[in-house]
Amino acid sequence: MILAAGLGTRLRPLTNTIPKPLLSVGGTPLIVWNVLLMKRHGFHEIVVNLHHLGPMIEQALGDGSKFGVRIMYSQEPVILGTGGGIKQAEHYFSGEPVLIMNGDTLVELDLGALWDFHHTRQAAATLVLREDSDAAQWGLVEVGANDQILRITGKGLPSPSPAIPRMFAGIHILHPRLLRQVPKGVPSSIIAPYVAAIEGGERVLGYDLQGYWSDIGTAERYTQAEKDTRAGLIRLADRQPLETHGPHD
């Protein structure tokens, strides 16, 4: 699933007329980078949630066939946040674990290796984490032994031993059973069910991201991402522009 319903308020006025996931980096819309990243690592069925300027995203992506994937849409007349948005799309998951990414994040990550980690470790949820000196500002995630997440923004398990500070990179895999207590049609954050799962003794694990990451959250970071692509820090290799038709191999 790609979360693409947000308002992109920090990038106004750009996002007044263009939804943030369609902002171009290196000549390719952000959400297309992520569609093709998923495709490259074997994910061929993708749900995209829509709210702000949603028809523009749907028109740009279509049914996904031009990218070699199948894209379905979850409409949100009222914006539902990460928890409510994922809950709204739950019927697409068929009770199976789902990989979730933000439609406005630029990242280089082996999603297949992430999926294998989640499956092998039999996790209820796996959150992709980053080492960041400003982790507390983003929302501190504390990791203990065996990659177990102990606390998110101070909520979770008490721990007598030191924990490793990390920040959540907005990429995660969850089993739909964690959505049972999430109310449908009500705005909420996915962090609440993760904290509940941690407190309930579920295996909620952290997976460290070593590659490129930017959430394109401000005009400055958007400009930096353009510079980074020109410098080759994140490459458009194995990607295709929006105008290209036919499956990508």
Give 48's strand partners.
2, 73
Residues sharing a CB contact under 8 Å with residue 155, sequence separation 6 or more, in sequence order:
195
Band of the pLDDT at 12, cuts 50, 70, 90?
A: low
Residue 221 clears pLDDT 80, i.e. is over it: yes
How large a percentage of the chain has pLDDT more than 90?
Answer: 64
Residue 218 clears pLDDT 90, i.e. is over it: no
Band of the pLDDT at 197, cuts 50, 70, 90?
A: very high
Domain boundaries, the chain: 2-230
Residue 8 clears pLDDT 70, i.e. is over it: no
Q: What does 85-120 look like in DSSP terms, one character per residue?
A: HHHHTGGGSTTS-EEEEETT-EE---HHHHHHHHHH
Mean pLDDT, range 17-29, rounded to an integer: 87
2-230 in CATH: which number? 3.90.550.10
Mean pLDDT, range 154-178, rounded to an integer: 90
Band of the pLDDT at 7, cuts 50, 70, 90?
A: low
Mean pLDDT, range 127-140, rounded to an integer: 86
The answer to whether the beta carbons of residues 45 and 30 sit under 8 Å apart is no
| Average pLDDT score over the chain | 87
Residue 38 clears pLDDT 70, i.e. is over it: yes
Mean pLDDT, range 72-91, rounded to an integer: 93
Q: pTM of the entire structure?
A: 0.90
pLDDT at 3: 94
pLDDT at 15: 58
Residues sharing a CB contact under 8 Å with residue 166, sequence separation 6 or more, in sequence order:
129, 130, 131, 132, 135, 140, 141, 142, 143, 206, 208
Q: What does 158-200 look like in DSSP terms, one character per residue?
A: --SS--EEEEEEEEEEE-GGGGTTSPTTS---THHHHHHHHHT
Lowest mean pLDDT among 14-18, 91-95, 224-228, 234-238: 234-238
Band of the pLDDT at 45, cuts 50, 70, 90?
A: very high
Residue 2 clears pLDDT 50, i.e. is over it: yes
